A = this chain, B = another copy of it.
Amino acid sequence: MSAAESLQAEDVYFSTNPPPKQLAAHTALAEAFITQHVAANRRVVLVTSGGTTVPLEKNTVRFIDNFSAGTRGATSAEYFLSAGYAVIFLHRQFSLLPYSRHYSHSTDCLLDLLSEDAEGRVAVRPEDSDRILDVLRKYQSARRDNTLLLLPFVTIGDYLHELRAVARLMAPLGSSGLLYLAAAVSDFFVPPERLSEHKIQSTNIVEKLYPGEKGSKTPSPPIEDEETFDNFDASPRVPRSKRLIIDLDPVPKFLKSLVEGWAPLGMIVSFKLETDPRILVHKARYSLERYQHHLVVGNLLSTRKWEVVFVAPGRQDQWLRVPRHGGWGDAEGRPLRPDEAPEGDPEEEIEALIIPAVAQLHDAHIVKSNSEKK
């Protein structure tokens, strides 16, 4: 595909998949945010976080999702803030957020931390106060300095529209802009013209009640009368008429557009999550060669809180791993196997290693970019 064809195809995608309602509002917020930090000569990172959804109906009841609580993104955002970056946090709605992540999605429920004193005031229990205070101060500092901008998305369509808009707005940052793409982005989607208007029915009820009207535009085999669509089926093969077939198209490979068109000067970091250790580095290296960006952080689903691998052009693969009480024994000096992830969470968050290493590569990116300008 030529560059011109690619551009035209991109236009087709963005014109046939409608933008999210909040796009204009988000764009205005991002523009003001970037302007402020360009003026202050502060680096800005766009962190994407959480999974994108693929709706299966226009009035969405069912959707395909990508596994991600948003831990990597939310944790990374905190370390970027600590490293002096301003952070645009483009995240899946209701996924983990920087700072509040410590008190959500966990058994460590807010209400368990609170107590009522004799005067009926509500305070954090003294034994938890110090721990919360540290987080609260960092949160309030980010609020006060306006260094953290939260922009939510839900669907893959929302995400691509928002990503394009924010990446383009980052142009004034030049090489001091950083794109850190930790979101779990869908590879496949249902194009609007194949989307069912209403909830997909497991029966032909719409046709029965409203003859001549189709209940679903999704190509699927004819479904039997609902009386015969019955429960537990003893036979190992379920008749095709009782199945649901979902037919998905590939999502445009937006990284190419990002590198070539939307944010050509910034440093671009992508993530590669796999479950099969045999293909991880190969896929990371392949992605890098294909899109010509600056860094792929590879990780395995089961060991992702313990180690990652940095794959960058012209450098050897660099494995980062958090320390473990008692050392790594036999696994020292080689990648962990998927079954070697220790129980529980590490004492130190691996993002405490990732972000300084990324910032260092960003330093080099800026220096190189400046020297090329001269």
Contacts and interface: CB of A to CB of B under 8 A. Distances in A.
Given A210-B278, A250-B238, A252-B232, A62 B67 contact: yes
A247 B245 CA distance: 5
A195 to B, nearest CB: 12
A116 interface: yes
Given A111-B135, A206-B276, A276-B199, A243 B232 contact: no
A64 B61 contact: no
A133 B120 contact: yes
Contact of A67 (B61, B248, B249, B274): B61
A1 B235 CA distance: 12
Interface string A241-261: 011111111101110110000
B275 A61 contact: yes
A202 B230 contact: no
Nearest to A63: B65
A250 B242 contact: yes
Contacts of A275: 57, 59, 61, 198-199
A74 to B, nearest CB: 13
Interface in A122-158: 122-124, 126, 129, 132-133, 135-137, 139-140
Given A110-B110, A129-B121, A9 B233 contact: yes
A246 B110 CA distance: 40
Contacts of A99: 111
For A133, A230, A252, the residue with the greatest tally of chain B CB atoms inside 10 Å of its CB is A230
A125 to B, nearest CB: 9
Interface in A211-265: 226, 229-234, 238, 242-250, 252-254, 256-257
B249 A242 contact: yes
A110 B100 contact: yes
Interface string A167-206: 0000000000000000010111000000000110110011
For A97, A103, A105, A282, the residue with the greatest tally of chain B CB atoms inside 10 Å of its CB is A103
A100 B94 contact: no
B244 A245 contact: no
Given A61-B273, A231-B256, A244-B188, A202 B250 contact: yes
Contacts of A64: 56, 62-65
A42 interface: no
Interface in A301-353: 301-302, 338
A109 interface: yes
A100 to B, nearest CB: 5
Interface string A3-32: 001101110110000000000000000000
A279 interface: yes
Contact of A53 (B12, B65, B238, B252): B65
Given A199-B301, A231-B257, A242-B250, 13 more contacts: A9-B234, A59-B301, A61-B275, A62-B66, A100-B109, A114-B136, A122-B136, A123-B123, A205-B283, A209-B278, A209-B282, A230-B253, A231-B254
What are the 4 A-B residue pairs with the smallest beta carbon separation, nearest first?
A9-B232, A231-B253, A59-B275, A123-B123
17 contacts: A1-B231, A5-B234, A56-B64, A57-B275, A62-B65, A64-B65, A110-B110, A114-B124, A121-B129, A122-B129, A187-B202, A198-B276, A206-B276, A209-B282, A233-B252, A242-B249, A243-B250
